[in-house]
Structure 1
């Protein structure tokens, strides 16, 4: 009886869990709890105006650039780089440029660009925006140095298009497309502004004097023709006399004494042959 009681007590003992089993059980519980969160991390949403470059163990995945929409990534092995395809812009800092005719001007410009090839933009250049700014500054300074001040002020649109074409040749290797280069302002030195203003004023005065002299010549010719007509017919002189009197009488603010010669209405044309 005593042996049977001992065996019963030994059979009823609970199995004691080892330390390894406890660790695995805890990890399993944590894995079950975190599995939905990990699953959510594996899914990423790429917006319409962006593309995702996925790199697995440092190498570009075959489906890159991916998007737009939902993409699948593996945590700890895949890294994502988002590339924005929208048009971007930047203002160039004011640049002092020496023109072809040795005039120092300050030029202010703005550049518009967008990323055309996301893979080239990520793999071939470290910072595309900073590189675009540097190449734009160098290209604009070189192109403006080939033109005179007059050409720079009058052919700004042509110079902008030429600058855009030259910059685009370099940025194509970076996957960047230059859309537009606009030269906003050209600032001249104050002394040069005064000299140009004086030159323009002198030109305007000279033109005004020439026009005034030409008008006086035409007026003299017309007066000469009118005098010849009046000498042939003195009654025209009388009509002109009365017209002048009517013009003066229209101004009622003053009183004017206008002498009227009596012999004027009876004047007869003189014969030049008799004289």
Structure 2
């Protein structure tokens, strides 16, 4: 048989079950041949064969276009071709599993027998969003190369920008957007209460004393779209608003007024800051003037003043107590002068106190006078 084939100018080619061959005779395309043994023309060794393993699924050959142009029936029998439009994404599945994702204006040719094949087409001209179920499948299959994924945590809002234009505000969740000729980006904004500290701000008071102040503010983003579009950085805007408002407010006050009316100054400055930030979608909940830091020499002077004031107050209190004690002694003396019995009782109290502290006590005057007075009082 092989001798007869050689005489006839043929060559037998064996194709395995998992193979396909593309054959050319004298440079012209003969076709695609499947499993089995094939006798192909080979005069003067003019036969060329190109083996393909259909396990790789994708048909990659320089003769692809020629096959579809010259032998469309053969190409249709062995090959499946997928094409996408300018605003279209194709999710190609092989035997129920995602095989690849085809970008817009793209083409993919696969071996039909490597299937079964299925395709899901997505029109991205109206919406770039990826279906949540499909997004999970793409992530599990590691085929999310044409997807921009974004996660919006709880307590946050996501601002979706398509080609730089804000189109939607996203609630918490996981989102995916196709990369299909247009750019999609998600800016995540924290909606929870946040704190901002402004420390070490120098202010010149009306009496030309340079002080440093520390501020603290609590705020939340009420309108994320406005907060992002109105200013470049709303947190930086709040920082500067606090600086300007407090410098302007404290600059017209003397040092004594600032130290005495700290709460009032805080309220006056807060009203201006809250109004300015509300205009850009940020709600300022609370503002506090935490610390007023004085220069070293001024702090020493104020400490001396405070010490002198406290000393003066202590002297006043001491004199008041001394006066009260003297007045009490005077009243006691008057009572004793008018009542000799009371005087003798005080003497006994003193003797009792002394007797408790010594071993022997000798009384020269005696207590007869006191006892006689007590008896006389009883008789009366």
TM range (shorter): 0.7 to 0.9
1:219 aligns with 2:325: yes
Whichever of the two has the greater Rg, that structure is: 2
| Paired position in structure 1 for 2:269 | 163
Does residue 53 of structure 1 match 2:159? yes
Partner of 2:169: 65
Give the Cα–Cα distance (whole angstroms) in 2 for the partners of residues 28 and 131 of structure 1: 52
Give secondary structure in 2 for the equivalent of 1:114. Answer: strand
1:107 Cα deviation from its structure 2 partner: 0.9
Confirm or deny that 1:34 pairs with 2:96. Answer: no
Per the alignment, residue 182 of structure 2 pairs with 77
Pick from 125, 143, 153 the counterpart of residue 249 of structure 2.
Answer: 143
Confirm or deny that 1:129 pairs with 2:173.
no
Which of 335, 342, 345 is the aligned partner of 1:239? 345
Unaligned 5+ segments in structure 2 are: 1-7, 10-24, 33-60, 69-78, 84-89, 93-98, 102-137, 374-380
Q: Distance in 1 between matches of 2:148 and 2:338?
A: 111
Question: What does the per-residue CA deviation read over 1:15-72, in whole Å, with 9 as the maximum and x for residues that have no partner?
Answer: 38755639x98995997333243598266543332222222333332xx112233556
Which residue of 207, 213, 223 maps to 1:107? 213
Aligned residue for 2:284, secondary structure, equals: strand
1:14 and 2:30 are equivalent in the alignment? yes
**Higher strand proportion:** 2
5+ long unaligned stretches in structure 1:
269-275
> Structure 1 residues 204 and 88 mapped into 2: Cα distance closer, same or farther (>3 Å)?
closer
Q: After TM superposition, give the deviation of residue 94 of structure 1 in Å.
A: 0.4
How many Å separate the matches in 2 of 1:260 and 1:198?
A: 58
Cα distance in 1 for residues equivalent to 2:323 and 2:192: 66
Q: 1:165 to 1:40 in 2, by over 3 A?
A: farther
**C-alpha distance in structure 2 between counterparts of 1:225 and 1:31, whole Å:** 109
Conservation of the 8 A alpha-carbon contact between 2:355 and 2:361:
no
Query: Number of matched residues?
Result: 255
Q: State the partner residue of 2:124.
A: none
2:218, 2:287 within 8 Å by CA — same for their partners in 1? yes
> Which has the larger share of helix?
1
- Residue 47 to residue 204, structure 1, CA distance change in 2 (3 Å): closer
363, 369, 374: which one aligns with 1:265: 369
Could you state the TM-score of these two structures normalised by the residue count of structure 1?
Answer: 0.74
Higher relative contact order (CA 8 A, sep 6+): 1
Cα distance change of structure 1 residues 142 and 230 upon mapping to structure 2, 3 Å threshold:
same
